[in-house]
Amino acid sequence: KAVERNPRSAGCINALAWMYTEDLGKPEAALALLEKFVAGGGRETVEMLDTHAATLHRLGKLDRAKAKLTECLAAAGQTPTLTAATYRLGRIHWDAGNKSEAVTYLRDALGLHKRLGGLTDAEVATAQSLIGG
C-alpha cells in the first residue's frame, strides 16, 4: 500500500524490495521493482544499493552485485550500511570462490559491526563460521 501511495519513495521501494528478497523469497519481484524505480529516474539511496546487491546476489548475478556494493561502499560513510555492504561483499567473494578476499571482507565487517552495528546475529555467526572454517 505504501508503494502504491508513494511510488517514487526510495524508502518504501527499498523496504518492499528487502521484504521480497529476504522475507518472501521472491528476489525476481524485488529486482523488477528496483529496476523499474531506477529506470523511472529514481535515485538509489545507500540502503537501496545494498538491497539491490543482496537481491542480485540471491539471483546469482555476482558481478552486478559487486558493482552495486562498490557504489554503496563509496557513499555509505561510517554507517551500519557500510558494515552490511562489507559483509555482503565478503559473502559474494566467498560464493565466487575467492576465499582469501572473502575472509578479508568478513573480518572487516565484524570489526565495523563492533563500532557501527549493521549485522544480524545470524550474519555475525555466518561470518565467524566462514572465517574459522
| pLDDT tens digit sequence for 11-49 | 889 999 999 999 999 999 999 999 999 999 999 999 999
123 vs 106: CA distance, rounded Å = 10
Closest by CA to 47, choosing from 124, 55, 39, 29, is 55
pLDDT for 133 beyond 70: no
Give pLDDT, residue 9. 80
Phi, psi (degrees; rounded to nearest 5) at 124: -60, -45
Mean pLDDT, the chain, whole residue set: 93
Tell me what the mean pLDDT of segment 68-84 comes to. 95
64: cell is 552486478
Q: What is the pTM of this model?
A: 0.89
69 vs 54: CA distance, rounded Å = 9
56: cell is 542480485
Neighbours of 4 (CB within 10 A): 7
| pLDDT tens digit sequence for 59-72 | 999 999 999 999 99
Q: What amino acid occupies position 25?
A: G
